[in-house]
A = this chain, B = another copy of it.
Amino acid sequence: MENFVFHNPTKLIFGKGTIPRIGEEIRNFGIKKVLFLYGGGSIKRNGVYDQVVKSLKRYGVDWVEVSGVKPNPVLSKVHEAIEIARKEKVEAVLGVGGGSVVDSAKTVAAGVVYEGDIWDAFIGKYVIKEALPIFDVLTISATGTEMNGNAVITNEETNEKYGVSSKALYPKVSIVDPSVQSTLSREQTVYGAVDAIAHILEYYFDGSSPEISNEIAESTIRTIMKMTEKLLEKPDDYEARANFAWCATIALNGIMAVGRKGGEWSCHRIEHSLSALYDIAHGAGLAIVFPAWMRYVYRENIHQFERFAKRIFNLEGEGEDLILRGIDSFKNWLKKVGAPVTLRDAGIPEEDIEKIVDNVMLLVEKNLKPKGATLGKVKVLDREDVREILKIAAK
Contacts and interface: CB of A to CB of B under 8 A. Distances in A.
Interface of A: 1-18, 178, 210-212, 215-216, 218-220, 222-223, 226-227, 238-239, 242-243, 246-247, 250, 255, 258-259
A7 B146 CA distance: 13
A219 B212 contact: yes
A210 B255 CA distance: 18
Given A3-B14, A14-B6, A243-B1, A215 B211 contact: no
Contact of A259 (B3, B242, B258, B259): B242
Contacts of A247: 212
Contacts of A238: 1
Nearest to A220: B212
Contacts of A16: 3
B211 A227 contact: yes
Contacts of A216: 216, 219-220
Given A210-B239, A218-B219, 19 more contacts: A1-B238, A1-B242, A1-B246, A3-B14, A3-B15, A5-B11, A5-B13, A6-B11, A6-B14, A7-B12, A211-B223, A211-B239, A212-B220, A212-B243, A212-B250, A215-B220, A215-B223, A216-B216, A246-B259
Contacts of A223: 211-212, 215
Contact of A2 (B5, B10, B15, B210): B15
Given A211-B227, A211-B243, A243-B211, A4 B15 contact: yes
Contacts of A15: 1-4
Contacts of A250: 212
A12 B6 contact: yes
Nearest to A219: B215
A119 B184 CA distance: 51
Nearest to A226: B211
10 tightest Cβ-Cβ pairs between the two chains A and B: A3-B15, A215-B219, A1-B242, A7-B11, A6-B12, A212-B223, A219-B219, A212-B243, A211-B243, A9-B9
A5 B255 CA distance: 17
A389 to B, nearest CB: 31
Contacts of A9: 9
A246 B255 CA distance: 11
A112 B36 CA distance: 42
A89 B138 CA distance: 45
A51 to B, nearest CB: 15
Contacts of A242: 1, 210, 259
A246 B14 contact: no
A229 to B, nearest CB: 12
A200 to B, nearest CB: 12
15 contacts: A1-B15, A1-B239, A1-B243, A3-B15, A3-B16, A4-B15, A5-B11, A5-B13, A6-B11, A210-B239, A210-B243, A215-B223, A218-B219, A246-B259, A255-B255
